[in-house]
Amino acid sequence: MRLLTLALSVAMAAGGAADARGHRGDTYINSDGVVVHRPVRAPSPPPGATAQCRDGTYSFSLHHQGTCSYHGGVMS
């Protein structure tokens, strides 16, 4: 419980409310348990973006499978 409390405190101090798993709403935990930024809209690829989705958002996914799955797939 102390570790969870510490994780929440650190996440909140970093600039945003965290959920019970210690990550903010602009991130998700991937299949490897790694915190990854959710896709974002931007005029050009943001630092760390790994793919552009068909809906125009940029993904930060670390795996090919599932990338942009809720955003129309990967733009070809």
Residue whose pair of structure tokens reads 């993904």 in the numeric block = 59
pLDDT tens digits for 11-69?
A: 444 444 544 555 578 999 999 999 999 999 999 999 999 999 999 999 999 999 999 99
How, if at all, do strands 57-59 and 51-52 pair?
antiparallel
Q: Which two tokens stand for residue 43?
A: 């005029």
**What is the predicted pLDDT for the residue at 23?**
58
Q: Which residues contact 73 (CB under 8 A, 6 or more apart)?
A: 53, 54
Give me the mean pLDDT over the 5-14 stretch.
38
Considering the entire predicted model, what is its pTM? Answer: 0.68
Q: Which residues contact 65 (CB under 8 A, 6 or more apart)?
A: none
